[in-house]
Amino acid sequence: MNQPNIPLYPNGTLLTVGTHRALIKKYLTSGGFAQIYAVEITPVDTYSKSNVACLKRVIVPTKSGLNTLRAEVDAMKLLKNNRHVVSYIDSNAVKSAFNNGSYEVLLLMEYCEGGGLIDFMNSRLQNRLSEAEILNILSQTAQGVANMHALQPVLLHRDIKIENVLRSGNGEFKLCDFGSVCGYIRPPRNQQELSYVQHDILKNTTAQYRCPEMLDLYRGLPIDEKSDIWALGVFLYKLCYYTTPFEKTGENAILHSKFQYPAFPIYSDRLKNLIRVMLSENPTKRPNICELLEEISSIQGVPCPIQNFYLIRAQQLANQIQLQRQTTVPKIATAQPIQQLNARTQTMPIINTKANTSLVTPITVPVLSENTRLPALELDIKVPQFSPSLDKDMYMKLHPFQKSGTLLTPSKTASVSPIRRYISRSPSRDNTNYDIQRRRTSQYDHDQNQSNYMGRSLSRTSSIKSTSALSFEGNLQGNNTGDSFAQKFTNKIKRVVTGESRNASPIRSRQDTGGSVRSAFGAIRGAFTGSMRAPSLDNNTNNSMHNNSNNNTSRNSSYGRHNIITNPIKEEDSRNMTKAKLAKRHTMPPGMLYDLENLEIENEGYHASEYYRSHSPTKPFVTKTTRDNIQQRVQNLLSESEQPMERNNIDTHHTNAVSHSMIPRNLNSREKDSLRYSSVVINPLEDIGSSPKKAPPLPFKPHHLRPKPPPKPTYLSKMFSKERISSTATEQLVTLDVDTLERDFRKRFPSTLENR
Ligand SMILES: Nc1ncnc2c1ncn2[C@@H]1O[C@H](COP(=O)(O)OP(=O)(O)OP(=O)(O)O)[C@@H](O)[C@H]1O
């Protein structure tokens, strides 16, 4: 849309804008599409209580242009009365008196006396912004963005940049220019859609702020909230260094997120790391807006200004599933409560950063509405603060979120950010900084603890701001043993879905390194499809709550075997699932997996992943046949590893650590050890059959240098006098006659037994 050359309104011009009258006081500037004026309005704006406002005048040459303007106005209406969004006051559209057939749109909004952020930055060319100032600006801008991302369906800004942040008279920063807003953009499914999306992106975004998935649509990734996070990353970089990270390097650098930090000015590693994670090439590795705000607040040492609405939604979803399960029988009863639930909104408290910390401003979180877009942060009811005087029964009746809301502690502790779990203190350009290994110790209870994690790569799966602030009902009762949120969340969801108690849940192991919010969703999906996650995938360990059959397995764990607790009923299923998952993991870029899986589910059989895999210029070309081959190979590997093998057949390609059952009996202990601990990285893409690598021949060890085996207990020498104990023999050990054992024990420790 090009701005036609039209004369400016002279000062003193009186206009009618919707229900307001506006008197032109001063022409301010012209944007790419608009003239901007300071005006005096009557009646005064109810939100700002001011009679000074800003008038944006846009000439729209065509009707389609009018639609674009309508989208901007609608977005502003949705985001009205938010502290960090330029607030909408009124608007109208009239036929233009200057250009035949064109329209003139007048948009009244809150006046930002402080001008643009760009002006503020220009005033600090010599004395660059301090880290505190940068964090303050970023936090306020991110809060504006959070208002958009909290909407359902989500609203993307798509043009976050320095130029689109303004400063109010009292120094607050506000997001403006909603002319590019849109919803989630699914990956285009054909060439036509692709051209359309490409054109739309070129038109509505700013080159330096475009994310990799916008530049390379063949990646088959959706354009979602993470594209705004990328733009915020560029925004943050520019706040620090007054230039964008890809200013000189261009598109190729954006595609692979290659950038450097200038030596000056000097900022903390933590801030630099924040830039790094926000500019992750893989959108799933970028924090969401809530996680971002949690981290910013943590660095600032203030409470996080918002609650993590993504988690709240997940909890609501879990609640709905529980409700659905409870009301499934009889079937007729299900429809009504679920519909009612969908139409409802849940009020959540939100803490204002700058306001008195005791003040709890409720945030309305829309509950899974299907078509309606609901405003995110409307003022609604207040949630009572929990105090000892609060009636316990009343507290128990509260919604779980209200309960957790009552436990919000606006102390420094609450500001501890879980994002630190996955942000390494030392900046690195490697995206693999996200260590998916879960930390087992208590990490985020205390500010002090934060220092313990300096320099460590921590899990990003835990994305809740603090256990005290957001923990679910069940978790509030237990002490925080350091299990990450993801684990608790997975357990919670699983319990919600299956109705089983925490103790009985097989996914409670501390060594469950696979737990994540995603796995929780997997559980939800499992509930929908009727297939819960395979227990063996959870890599559970010894669990005293398990039944006797499991105890045998867990006991084995002390002998260095994998601590996988298998469910005898589903063992076969779970093994198949493991194989399939392994095969799939090996054939796809990990970041794409989840999106593509979802995409295919959404598109009901439309194999978008196939399409994009075969068209992507940046990803290796993996056809279905190749993938099948790989899957086949991985399956072969798995089945081979289950077979006992002779030494000559042992292919160290196949395994990292050779299992006991694979070690032939006729080897001496040294040979066995060297086999057991030989570590070779599996490369599933390598053609296994073509070049089998054999274990290097072991050097001969003279007999006198070999360690002498310890003397065998008498009962063993009787029963297995000729053969060494095999792995199967351990089972027979357990079935040994008690009398024999006691006799042997008495012989070895006579006094102990006699004292009894
Ligand atoms: N509410 C406001 N208060 C004060 N100044 C404003 C306000 N809104 C806009 N401006 C000023 O006008 C400039 C242009 O506004 P805006 O970005 O909304 O117009 P635009 O035509 O969409 O511009 P572009 O598309 O080039 O970003 C802003 O950069 C800012 O300096």
Mean pLDDT of 349-369: 33
CB 399 within 8 A of CB 383: no
Mean pLDDT of 24-37: 90
Q: What angle do CA 172, 177, 181 make, to 5 degrees?
A: 120
Range with the poorest average pLDDT among 81-85, 243-247, 564-568: 564-568
Residue 576 has pLDDT above 60, yes or no: no
Residue 280 has pLDDT above 60, yes or no: yes
Mean pLDDT of 597-610: 40
Range with the poorest average pLDDT among 77-91, 387-401, 461-475, 719-733: 461-475
pLDDT at 383: 29
Query: In b/e form, how buried is each residue of 318-354, taking b as 16+ CB within 10 angstroms?
Result: bbbbbeeeebeeeeeebeeeeeebeeebbbbbbbbbe
pLDDT at 639: 58
pLDDT at 6: 80
Q: What are phi and psi of 95, to 5 degrees?
A: -70, 135
pLDDT at 637: 58
Query: In b/e form, how buried is each residue of 185-210, taking b as 16+ CB within 10 angstroms?
Result: bbbbeeeeeeeebeebbeebbbebbb
Residue with tokens 């007729």: 332
In the chain, the percentage of residues whose pLDDT exceeds 70 is 43
Residue 559 has pLDDT above 90, yes or no: no
**Alpha carbons 361 and 376: distance in angstroms, whole number:** 13
Mean pLDDT of 354-383: 34
Range with the poorest average pLDDT among 56-65, 151-160, 188-197, 243-252: 56-65
Domains of the chain with bracketed CATH: 13-111 (3.30.200.20), 118-313 (1.10.510.10)
- Cα 385 to ligand 1 centre (Å): 41
Whether residue 287 is preceded by a cis peptide bond, meaning omega within 30 degrees of 0, is no
Residue 31 CB less than 6 A away from ligand 1? yes
Q: Confidence class of residue 317 from pLDDT cuts 50, 70 and 90?
A: very high
**Alpha carbons 688 and 637: distance in angstroms, whole number:** 9
pLDDT at 217: 96
| Ligand 1 pocket test target in 1, 36, 118, 122 with most atoms within 8 Å of CB | 36
Whether residue 4 is preceded by a cis peptide bond, meaning omega within 30 degrees of 0, is no
Counting from 1 in the atom list of ligand 1, the atom nearest the Cα of 163 is 29
Mean pLDDT of 447-474: 30
CB 108 within 8 A of CB 87: no
Range with the poorest average pLDDT among 240-254, 300-314, 433-447: 433-447
pLDDT at 96: 82
pLDDT at 295: 97
Range with the poorest average pLDDT among 39-43, 85-89, 392-396, 744-748: 392-396
pLDDT at 127: 95
Residue 465 has pLDDT above 70, yes or no: no
- Cα 177 to ligand 1 centre (Å): 7
Mean pLDDT of 531-557: 32
CB 685 within 8 A of CB 653: no
Residue 109 CB less than 6 A away from ligand 1? yes
Residue 715 has pLDDT above 60, yes or no: no
pLDDT at 746: 64
pLDDT at 517: 33
Residue 614 has pLDDT above 90, yes or no: no
- Cα 509 to ligand 1 centre (Å): 54
- Cα 460 to ligand 1 centre (Å): 37
Residue 287 has pLDDT above 90, yes or no: yes
Mean pLDDT of 450-470: 30
- For 727-749, the pLDDT digits (tens) are 333 333 334 455 665 666 566 55
**366 secondary structure, DSSP code:** E
**Alpha carbons 205 and 157: distance in angstroms, whole number:** 9
Q: Which one has a higher pLDDT value, 279 or 353?
A: 279
pLDDT at 662: 35
Residues 6+ apart with CB under 8 A from 348: 307, 309, 312, 362, 363, 364, 365, 383, 401, 405
How far CA 614 is from CA of 197, 215, 513, in Å, comes to 19, 17, 32
Indicate if 159 belongs to the active site. Answer: yes
**Alpha carbons 461 and 437: distance in angstroms, whole number:** 9
- Cα 29 to ligand 1 centre (Å): 8
Residue 1 has pLDDT above 70, yes or no: no
Global pTM exceeds 0.90:
no
Mean pLDDT of 550-575: 36
Q: Confidence class of residue 699 from pLDDT cuts 50, 70 and 90?
A: low
| Ligand 1 pocket test target in 176, 178, 181, 209 with most atoms within 8 Å of CB | 176
pLDDT at 66: 86
Helix ranges (DSSP H) in 363-482: 392-397, 400-406, 447-452, 467-470, 473-477
In the chain, the percentage of residues whose pLDDT exceeds 90 is 37
Residue 36 CB less than 6 A away from ligand 1? yes
CB 156 within 8 A of CB 227: yes
Residue 560 has pLDDT above 60, yes or no: no
How far CA 755 is from CA of 28, 739, 743, 748, in Å, comes to 97, 18, 15, 14
Residue 296 has pLDDT above 80, yes or no: yes
Among 225-229, 418-422, 593-597, the range with the most confident prediction by mean pLDDT is: 225-229
- Cα 30 to ligand 1 centre (Å): 7
Residue 86 CB less than 6 A away from ligand 1? yes
**Alpha carbons 628 and 583: distance in angstroms, whole number:** 9
Q: Residue 634 corresponds to which tokens in the numbers above? A: 């991985």
Q: Confidence class of residue 97 from pLDDT cuts 50, 70 and 90?
A: confident
Residue 537 CB less than 6 A away from ligand 1? no
Mean pLDDT of 308-324: 92
CB 577 within 8 A of CB 537: yes
Residue 299 has pLDDT above 50, yes or no: yes
- Cα 217 to ligand 1 centre (Å): 30
Residue 128 has pLDDT above 60, yes or no: yes
Residue with tokens 């603060």: 385
Q: Residue 123 corresponds to which tokens in the numbers above? A: 């005033």
pLDDT at 751: 53
Rg (CA), the chain: 31
Q: What angle do CA 337, 496, 472 make, to 5 degrees?
A: 100
Single-letter code of the amino acid located at 375: P
Residue with tokens 């057949």: 649
Single-letter code of the amino acid located at 641: S
Mean pLDDT of 521-544: 34
Mean pLDDT of 362-386: 35
- Cα 43 to ligand 1 centre (Å): 23
Q: What is the average pLDDT score of the chain?
A: 63
Counting from 1 in the atom list of ligand 1, the atom nearest the Cα of 176 is 18
Residue 176 CB less than 6 A away from ligand 1? yes
Residue 179 CB less than 6 A away from ligand 1? yes
Whether residue 265 is preceded by a cis peptide bond, meaning omega within 30 degrees of 0, is yes
Q: How far apart are the first and last CA of the chain?
A: 95
pLDDT at 64: 77
Residue 667 CB less than 6 A away from ligand 1? no
pLDDT at 169: 92
Catalytic residue among 159, 177, 228, 483: 159
Nearest to 1 by CA among 34, 37, 36, 35: 34
Among 48-62, 221-235, 582-596, the range with the most confident prediction by mean pLDDT is: 221-235
ipTM: 0.96
Mean pLDDT of 298-302: 97
CB 749 within 8 A of CB 741: no
| Ligand 1 pocket test target in 27, 28, 205 with most atoms within 8 Å of CB | 28
Counting from 1 in the atom list of ligand 1, the atom nearest the Cα of 179 is 22
Residue 34 CB less than 6 A away from ligand 1? yes
Mean pLDDT of 282-295: 98
Range with the poorest average pLDDT among 428-437, 463-472, 619-628, 736-745: 463-472
671 by Cβ neighbours in 10 Å (0-12 / 13-18 / 19+) ranks as: middle
- For 376-421, the pLDDT digits (tens) are 333 222 323 323 333 344 433 433 223 222 222 233 333 334 344 4
pLDDT at 370: 37
pLDDT at 684: 32
- Give 75's Cβ-side CA count (13 Å radius): 29
Q: Confidence class of residue 623 from pLDDT cuts 50, 70 and 90?
A: very low
Query: In b/e form, how buried is each residue of 73-89, taking b as 16+ CB within 10 angstroms?
Result: bbbbebbbbbbbbbbbb
pLDDT at 68: 81
Nearest to 108 by CA among 37, 31, 3: 37
Helix ranges (DSSP H) in 347-431: 392-397, 400-406
Nearest to 197 by CA among 173, 179, 218: 218
Q: Residue 108 corresponds to which tokens in the numbers above? A: 């009244």
Q: What are phi and psi of 583, to 5 degrees?
A: -60, -45
Residue 114 CB less than 6 A away from ligand 1? no
Mean pLDDT of 341-346: 33
Length of the chain: 756
47 by Cβ neighbours in 10 Å (0-12 / 13-18 / 19+) ranks as: middle
CB 680 within 8 A of CB 653: yes
How far CA 428 is from CA of 258, 280, 294, 568, in Å, comes to 11, 11, 21, 45
Q: Which one has a higher pLDDT value, 376 or 489?
A: 489
- For 629-642, the pLDDT digits (tens) are 556 655 665 555 54
